[in-house]
Structure 1
């Protein structure tokens, strides 16, 4: 990747037209998806009551049945909630890397941490039925970090493909 997040190519670090087109299309898609994601995240994070309130009893029942059938007790509601928070923030890291460039991957993680702190503070101050926890900040930040890592893998794959497809093929000898 180049310094601005553009894929760099073998010949003098120049960017091929195909790589530029792919990156621009990816960034446009990321802007649209990011806008939709932010609306969904705001609804989930700032809903007046816990969003899992309706499914809580069903999840607990399923967990009890799973535990009765040998699933270890560490597979708990807390683990499911922690994992859901990780998944919820994967897009923060992924979209952050795509929009900011791979050189600034760490900014995507900081944005995830900052957004999570802001959400938890908002829940603490404005939403008495919600629970603000440090564990949520940890899970959300971890989700942003995993998302950033996934985006780096995706971008390097796209770069590798555009690099090999832009190289001339050998003709018959």
Structure 2
């Protein structure tokens, strides 16, 4: 599979390196010290319909979004028929990350991250499935 799709394999490798850097860097940036994030959360706290947007919601959503490419890339690499491998890779990656974070002093391992990352992987797989279904519907039917 990797030999037939070298560009996709390279993009996947770069993506995995970025995820590793973001999640396993022993000195992560302090998200609570992010001025823009503080201002956005202060704004949402003042607007009644947006009060549900808290730091925890933003963090969960960021984890989901970070793993959507995991589902997309591995489903494309392995094929839609092997989508469950993409899901297994996403879950295994998350378990590995959370396990390593247990031993990093400035990191926190959290079961919510496992849920968010798995959800992100599933969304990525779903995107590939939806695009494949849409592409099949657009193909003209050839006469026999």
TM-score, scaled to structure 1: 0.72
Aligned: 1:151 with 2:128: yes
- Aligned to 1:74, the other structure's residue is in SS state coil
- Over the aligned positions, Cα root-mean-square deviation in angstroms equals 2.3
Pairing 1:120-131 to 2, within 5 Å after superposition: 120-125=98-103, 127-131=104-108
Q: 1:38-64: CA deviations, max 9, x gaps? A: 111111011113345375343123211
> Residue 141 of structure 1 aligns with which residue?
118
TM-score (norm 2): 0.85
The structure that has the greater radius of gyration is 1
SS at match of 1:30: helix
Unaligned runs of at least 5 residues, structure 1 = 1-23, 169-173
Aligned pairs for 1:21-170 (under 5 A) are: 27-53=5-31, 56-125=34-103, 127-161=104-138, 163-164=139-140, 167=142
Q: For 1:75, what is the secondary structure of its paired residue? A: coil
Contact kept? 1:93, 1:109, Cα under 8 Å: yes
Which ranges in structure 2 are unaligned for 5 or more consecutive residues?
none
- Bigger relative CO (Cα 8 Å, ≥ 6 apart): 1
**Which deviates more from structure 2 when the two are superposed, residues 51-60 or residues 73-82?**
51-60
